[in-house]
Chains A and B, each alone.
Chain A
Amino acid sequence: MSELRALTPEEFARAEQRLRNPAPGSRIEAAKEFGIDLTLLIEQLRLTPAERAQKLQLASQGLEPLRGIARRQPR
């Protein structure tokens, strides 16, 4: 089984360029028009997979109380 690794500096530079300057007709351009914040993806791609997992843990813990409040709101 192959391993998911952090991008090499060259791979990251290529991905960043594509995300900052989406090619016309590309899926990245479509995502931008859809409303995806591509700068967030660039920041994620700077990290290793383990660092991304750690960041998710922190974000999930931080947002969990708000999620509970939203659930309790009367409709």
Chain B
Amino acid sequence: MQFERAVRALRDAEVEFVIIGGVAATFHGSASVTFDLDICYSREATNLSRLAKALAPFHPRLRGIPDHLPFIWDAGTLRNGSLFTLTTDIGDIDLLGEVTGLGGYGEVKAMAIDVKAYGGSVSALNLRGLIQAKRAAGRPKDLLVLPELESLLEAEEP
């Protein structure tokens, strides 16, 4: 996964997004390795157009769907859904219009922190938000990372 290339493309296109999931956990000190980029994005019409344009050069397709089935990548497709699990030329990217346990982009943005990485500034979910989301998601893969995230929170408390 080319994380930097994906983040730069989104940032250059002025997409409103917050990095969540494994990459956000890494920013906070997680030692787990992730292979995809998860973002929560604003569902505003302008943002959907920007998002569609930003990722178009990487030829997004729905993950797990046979290549011969038609898939149109544009703002209209984004308007008709909220959660998109994509495979692209630069790796897997998951787009979430809302995050379980947190809410939509506005709520997620309110729990975001500014991170200097990938050649600029990027918003990422804070550690408490990550823990809250993982706990709410409640899937085995989410619960597995909780002890690590909670340790980081406890280690960094004043």
Give chain B residues whose Cβ lies under 8 Å from the Cβ of A56.
3, 23, 26, 33-34
Instruction: Assess the B156–A63 pair: CB atoms within 8 A.
Output: no
Encode B80-119 as 1/0 by CB contact (under 8 A) with A: 0000000000000000000000000000000011111110
Tell me if A's interface is mostly helix, strand, loop or mixed. Answer: helix
Chain A residues in the interface with B (C-beta under 8 A): 1-4, 7, 11, 14-15, 18-19, 26-28, 30-31, 34, 36-38, 40-41, 43-45, 48-50, 52-53, 55-57, 59-61, 63-64, 67
Give chain B residues whose Cβ lies under 8 Å from the Cβ of A50.
115-118
CA separation between A17 and B148, bound complex, in Å? 16
How many residues of chain B are within 8 Å of chain A by beta carbon?
Answer: 33
Give chain A residues whose Cβ lies under 8 Å from the Cβ of B33.
56, 59-60, 63
CA separation between A48 and B28, bound complex, in Å? 9
Give chain B residues whose Cβ lies under 8 Å from the Cβ of A64.
1, 35
B155 within 8 A of A: yes
**How close is B120's CB to chain A, nearest CB, in angstroms?**
10
Instruction: Assess the B148–A41 pair: CB atoms within 8 A.
Output: yes
Give chain A residues whose Cβ lies under 8 Å from the Cβ of B4.
53, 57
